[in-house]
Amino acid sequence: MSEQIAEIGVLYAPFLGGMMVGCFLFGITISQTIIYFRNYKDDTLFLRALVGGALIVDTFHFVMVAEGVHNWYLFCKLPQNYAGLALFHWSLGASIIATYVITSMVQALYIMRVYMLSKNIWISIFIGTLSVAQLAFGLFLWEDLFVANSLTALHQTKGQIGGSVELAATTLCDIAISVALWWYLHKGRTGFASTEKMIDKLILYMVNLGLLTSVASLLTLILWLVMPSSFAFVSLTLIRSKLYCNAMLVTLNYRQTVRKAVQGNTSQQQQTSRYLQDLDGVEMDSKAAYRSRN
């Protein structure tokens, strides 16, 4: 019996690893959020609510993961609670839903930016469909785990289908966003040296941050498919919401750096106004940015 418990304990090791990395990333999220609310007081209510909402959901996710780790590493290690190790604990279910919500929120923001740059509704619909698919199949997986009330459901047919499609849709959505942003930013080059440098910086921040979440989702999918009998993929799943939050916050906080770079240069401001608008987003244009362009 003790050997069986030890084996189960090894399977749950990724939960602890994900929790530890998540603590570090959550601290960065807090600091980035503070920087945002201090520096962008003129942003519209929509954008400020989005940032505040993402922080609330991510905090909820952090608390739920902590409760899950407490349950498996302390409560269920008591002899009378060994059976709980294989159950689908409610805190894990809550953290899964929080992850899908944050992923959808951040992807929606990036999809709006893609539309602002491209003005192509079909590309935006295609990327949006991938985002909706990750949410739908993620909830499908959650429902399967909830009904079964057992983590073994992850290795059953329905669990494998739900998890595989969700991770594949998330990965493809992030890659499509990154490619679209790179393409339309690249097409907007004007030949002015100062504008070229600014666009290069936009590509560096906006595209590479999207690739970061893409790589994380892809690695999670690979671990999910290659090591189906283990929970190795969980360590990346637990930090996914924080990667998305920080990607969003870094791009939002970078707007001030871009504006300072073009401040005082009227011609450059005219050339870069559409990119500043993209950084602020649809219906998210800050009052300060609006005044600077009028």
Per-residue model confidence as pLDDT tens digits over 165-217: 999 999 999 999 888 888 887 776 655 555 666 666 667 766 766 778 888 88
Say if CB 18 and CB 262 are below 8 A apart: no
**CA geometry: angle 245, 248, 253, nearest 5 deg:** 120
Q: Determine the distance from the C-alpha atom of residue 232 to the mean position of all C-alpha atoms in its chain, rounded to a whole number.
A: 19
Alpha-carbon gap, residue 87 to 152, rounded angstroms:
8
In the prediction, which pLDDT does 146 show? 85
Range of the domain at 234: 2-286
Q: pTM of the predicted model, to two decimals?
A: 0.81
Nearest to 280 by CA among 264, 292, 268: 292
193 in any annotated domain = yes
Residue 152 lies in a domain: yes
Residue 230 within any structural domain of the chain: yes
Region 49-77: mean pLDDT is 86
Q: Band of the pLDDT at 25, cuts 50, 70, 90?
A: very high
Return the CATH number at 239. Answer: 1.20.1070
Q: From its phi and psi, is residue 191 left (phi > 0), alpha (psi between -120 and 50) or beta?
A: left
Cα atoms in the Cβ-side hemisphere of radius 13 Å centred on 89: 22
Domain annotation covers residue 79? yes
The whole-number average pLDDT for the span 76-94 is 74
- 288 confidence band (pLDDT: 50, 70, 90): very low
78 part of a folded domain: yes
Mean pLDDT of the chain: 79
DSSP secondary structure of 127-176: HHHHHHHHHHHHHHHHHHHHHHTSGGGGGSHHHHHHHHHHHHHHHHHHHH
Question: How many domains does the chain contain in total?
Answer: 1
> Within a domain: residue 293?
no
Asked, for residue 294, whether it belongs to a domain, the answer is: no
- The first and second tokens of residue 196, run together, are 């070229």
Phi, psi of 120 (to 5 degrees): -105, 105
27 belongs to a structural domain: yes
Of 117-126, 150-159, 213-222, 280-289, where does mean pLDDT reach its minimum?
A: 280-289
